[in-house]
Structure 1
Amino acid sequence: MIKTVSELITIEIPEWKSLTINNITLTRDDEELVEQIAEKVSVDNLKEGVRINAKSWVGVIRFSQFEVHIIPKLAGGYCGLVKMIEFACGLQLLRWLSKDRMIKIEKSNDLYDLVALLLVEECEKLLSAGLLSDYIEIESDIPVLRGRFLTSKQITKRFGEIDRLECRYDEYLKDIPENQIIEAALSFCARRIKNEELLMRCRYLYSVFSEACSTNEIVMLQKIRENLTYNRLNEYYRTAHILAWHILDGLGINDIYVTHDRRCFAFLFDMNKLFEEFIYKYLQKTLEKTNFIIRDQFSIKSIIYQSDSDHRYKNIRPDFIIQAKNNIGTKLPIDAKYVLIENNNVPRDICYQIFIYAYALGRKDTSVIPSAAFIFPSASEETNPISLSINVNGKKEACIKGFGLHILTAIREVEENRFGLNSASKQIMEFIWRNLVM
């Protein structure tokens, strides 16, 4: 018996946790879905059930008989996640909502419906403001002369015909990239939303946008993403586009063009990427009134060489580097890691990576040893920093620090526009000052 979406068993699990579901078997469609999401979430088919191993990806996975919701507990749930997106992307998604609507969002246990709701709200604003149109160059055979007559094409395709003319002309249309992005996101939302009221609103919007434009190729969307720029004419589309890209990325852009109506799907959000963007913006605000600046994705020439050719092996790229505003002196590497660290048990790969950063950018004088840091989400507001060092013959050769940031506390600072007040921020600033000034 096939269950409707409302009849599916709903199971919640925090990120970085495991859960075994007994008396459940996976169908062929389920197994295909498991294969697609293997790098994001581990799903093992056992003799008497299914084991889910969550990582840093959060969201919803809908199987044939049950639905799994991976909750970002370290971020304060889905509402905290949306607030992180707001701050990291410079949006205002929740501030204009009514109190009743905010209560519903805070209690929401479905990330897909939540992001779809925000997209629908933004699309309704676009309709009120009016959809954007632009002149599009069209080549077509038409009954009357319009624009430029294509002589060579007429001879090649319609030699001797006078009832149809090959022409190139400009048409003022809504079938432009700005609307095509929205149409692509709504096309999937209109088939996967659980809430009936929201589904009706989404389907109406999809009918409007699909009538105005169409996107038939994945390549087209990818090119749009690479080439689209914003100006005073299309700036009011920016928020809706960011939400649309989150939906397309979370679903996997290839899934948009599946022709049959698949019941099984996954909408997964990479908390590693979002946490990195959030920390960058947060540190940027914290350092505003200091003599330091933060830069992201700073490439460093590797300290690792190929021994046979004496060539550098690979460049090193920490998430951020902190340096003086005058660009003079040492650069301090810092990474953002969305991992669950309990009892100061730092994963080995993180240790090795951060120590490499310390050696690559460490101070060359003898007064301060090479140092680097990483920031991870903390479950509590007060967390002692993690200190690790490499000792050779009793002498420290390198040192790294791990700082646990309580995301909900940081979000409160964002809402109050007061940065650097929590204990983790103060510890980070002290570490920066000690390594770049002393």
Structure 2
Amino acid sequence: MTTHELTEYQTVRVPWPDPSAADQQLAESLEGKGKLLRIRWLRNEQAEITAFARVGVVTFDQCQVAVRPKMAGGDLSVLRMLDYASGIHALRQLPPQRRIETGGLHLRDLVCQMLARAADDILRQGPTRSYLTRERSLPVLRGRILADRQVRARFGQLDQIECRYDEYETDILDNQVLAAGLNLAARSAAAAPVRALARRVATDFSALCDPAGLDPIDVAARLHYTRQNEHYRAAHGWSLLLLRGAAISDLYRAGNGQSRVFFFDMNRVFEDFVTRLVEHAFEGSAVEVRPQSRHRSVIVDELTGRPFGTVIPDLLLVRGAGATMWRRVVDAKYKLIGERSLDRADVYQTLLYAQALGATGATQQPPTAVIIHPGTPGSPHRLVARNTEGIRVARLRTVALDVSATLDALADRQHRDRLHAEVRDLLTA
């Protein structure tokens, strides 16, 4: 099957004769569900494909469309960002330049391989078991008899007894999460070696449990880790990444044994990555990091006093209290920001955040907001908002984050400490 590749926010034209009705319906859904991908079929048996801030792969009847990351440094960098932001830490032993042997295929195969390897390690260690309460009709008494049910359903009958008992077995949530992810990996992996590994491990897990009916959206809230199942954490992380990447309403459909859609929202991935980085940088310091803090009193209706909307900066840095309190807003923007390409909407938004939420403590500087974006460190933007009297009321600074270099620094303790110090200096200057 032909694979058409492009990067985020790129538009390409590819040969695509006679698209099927299923392909046209899928393309319409992709654009309608938050602009995941846009496809326009042209008259000369070609198609114009436009990507947005989603990376991954879509499988059509005639071909695959793979959207690769541009600003994050490649598929493996995205995987390492997800690994760090989610706290999985399953890639510590993976060399920074290692690549999966898939003929240059997509991000989904990387996730499938990491899941299959982690699940295979669990099988070698021995899967977790737990006691589950069962209620069944049995020919002999086991556990305790359900007297009320026995009377209602089997009055006067002794060949079957309604029992409630505890069973020590492997059909538990920990194994079900892995089985669901492995089943999807076995169907959707494009690379033959990855697909073979996933099928083998999926077969082993199918003998342990039944994942039918598992909801990948809310299952994470039901997972709890103790010493008995801590070794499942990394494998659960990969399985949930795979399941959630495919769990897009109206887009998950089996076709030729494969999952049709697998996407990651890079805006969310970058935001989560920056949040975790800043939290770690200020860990143990006097600065408190508040992610996604909600403020309803910033914009209100002047007549009624009711909140007009909620202001939610990505990060709010806070130090001190009272008259000496220092606050700074930090926003993560997954955009390429050059010397002149600073979005006006982003400028107005962050300057409003600075004025409304920022505080300078004892200094005479105006409140400041910082935009962190992917890129090569260079000449940052330094903007200031002034009133008609020339008084500075807010400042805006941009900070470019080299994602690949940051990931390499995080993998080494000595470089990691230096990176954290640099982050603290940049965000408090």
TM-score of the two chains, using structure 2 as the length reference = 0.88
Residues 408 and 425 (structure 1), Cα distance of their counterparts in 2 relative to 1, 3 Å cut: farther
Which of residues 305, 312, 321 is equivalent to 1:317? Answer: 312
Partners of 2:306 and 2:295 in 1: CA distance: 14
Q: How many residues align?
A: 421
Is 1:82–2:79 an aligned residue pair? yes
Which of residues 192, 195, 200 is equivalent to 2:196? Answer: 200
Query: What is the alpha-carbon root mean square deviation over aligned residues?
Result: 2.9
What residue number does 2:136 align with? 140
Q: Is this contact kept in 2: 1:218–1:254, CA < 8 A?
A: no
Post-superposition offset of 1:34:
2.2
Is 1:217–2:213 an aligned residue pair? yes
Give the residue type in structure 2 aligned to 1:398: A
Post-superposition offset of 1:262:
5.7
Question: Which region of structure 1 is more displaced relative to structure 2, 387-396 or 175-184?
Answer: 387-396
1:388-430 deviation line (CA, Å, top 9, x unaligned): 33332133322222211111121121122324757x985x645
Partners of 1:155 and 1:375 in 2: CA distance: 68
Which of residues 236, 239, 245 is equivalent to 1:241? Answer: 236
What residue number does 2:26 align with? 33
1:334-357 deviation line (CA, Å, top 9, x unaligned): 011112334432234323332231
Residues 243 and 41 (structure 1), Cα distance of their counterparts in 2 relative to 1, 3 Å cut: same
Partners of 2:397 and 2:341 in 1: CA distance: 13
Partners of 1:391 and 1:257 in 2: CA distance: 51
Partners of 2:74 and 2:102 in 1: CA distance: 8
Partners of 1:105 and 1:75 in 2: CA distance: 21
What residue number does 2:180 align with? 184
Gaps of 5+ in 1: 1-7
What residue number does 1:94 align with? 91
Partners of 1:345 and 1:257 in 2: CA distance: 37
Q: Is this contact kept in 2: 1:21–1:51, CA < 8 A?
A: yes
What residue number does 2:117 align with? 121
Partners of 2:280 and 2:218 in 1: CA distance: 33
Partners of 1:31 and 1:432 in 2: CA distance: 47
Give the residue type in structure 2 aligned to 1:64: D
1:81-125 deviation line (CA, Å, top 9, x unaligned): 1222232233443343589x9244698432111110010110110
Helix, strand or coil at the partner of 1:68: strand
1:288-339 deviation line (CA, Å, top 9, x unaligned): 4754342322223431112342112233221112222779612211011112
Post-superposition offset of 1:143:
0.9
Residues 193 and 53 (structure 1), Cα distance of their counterparts in 2 relative to 1, 3 Å cut: same
Which of residues 254, 257, 281 is equivalent to 1:286? Answer: 281
Which of residues 161, 169, 176 is equivalent to 1:165? Answer: 161
Partners of 2:255 and 2:76 in 1: CA distance: 32
Q: Is this contact kept in 2: 1:94–1:102, CA < 8 A?
A: no
Helix, strand or coil at the partner of 1:215: coil
Q: Is this contact kept in 2: 1:112–1:193, CA < 8 A?
A: yes
Is 1:368–2:361 an aligned residue pair? no
Q: Is this contact kept in 2: 1:140–1:166, CA < 8 A?
A: yes
Is 1:229–2:238 an aligned residue pair? no
What residue number does 1:19 align with? 12
Post-superposition offset of 1:246:
0.3
Post-superposition offset of 1:258:
5.3
Partners of 2:92 and 2:400 in 1: CA distance: 28
Q: How does 1:252-401 map to 2 (within 5 A)?
A: 252=247, 265-288=260-283, 290-324=285-319, 329-363=325-359, 367-378=364-375, 380=376, 382-393=377-388, 394-401=390-397
Partners of 1:257 and 1:104 in 2: CA distance: 25
Post-superposition offset of 1:257:
8.3
What residue number does 1:153 align with? 149
Residues 340 and 106 (structure 1), Cα distance of their counterparts in 2 relative to 1, 3 Å cut: farther
Post-superposition offset of 1:27:
1.8
Partners of 2:191 and 2:257 in 1: CA distance: 18
Is 1:414–2:410 an aligned residue pair? yes
Partners of 2:38 and 2:69 in 1: CA distance: 18
Helix, strand or coil at the partner of 1:73: coil
Q: Is this contact kept in 2: 1:79–1:105, CA < 8 A?
A: no
Partners of 1:13 and 1:212 in 2: CA distance: 40
Give the residue type in structure 1 aligned to 2:135: E
Q: Percent identity?
A: 28
Give the residue type in structure 1 aligned to 2:318: Q
Post-superposition offset of 1:364:
7.2
Partners of 2:102 and 2:290 in 1: CA distance: 33
Which of residues 53, 64, 67 is equivalent to 2:50? Answer: 53
Give the residue type in structure 1 aligned to 2:297: S
TM-score of the two chains, using structure 1 as the length reference = 0.87
Helix, strand or coil at the partner of 1:306: coil
Partners of 1:19 and 1:183 in 2: CA distance: 38
Post-superposition offset of 1:128:
0.6
Residues 130 and 254 (structure 1), Cα distance of their counterparts in 2 relative to 1, 3 Å cut: farther
Partners of 2:13 and 2:251 in 1: CA distance: 30
Residues 283 and 97 (structure 1), Cα distance of their counterparts in 2 relative to 1, 3 Å cut: closer
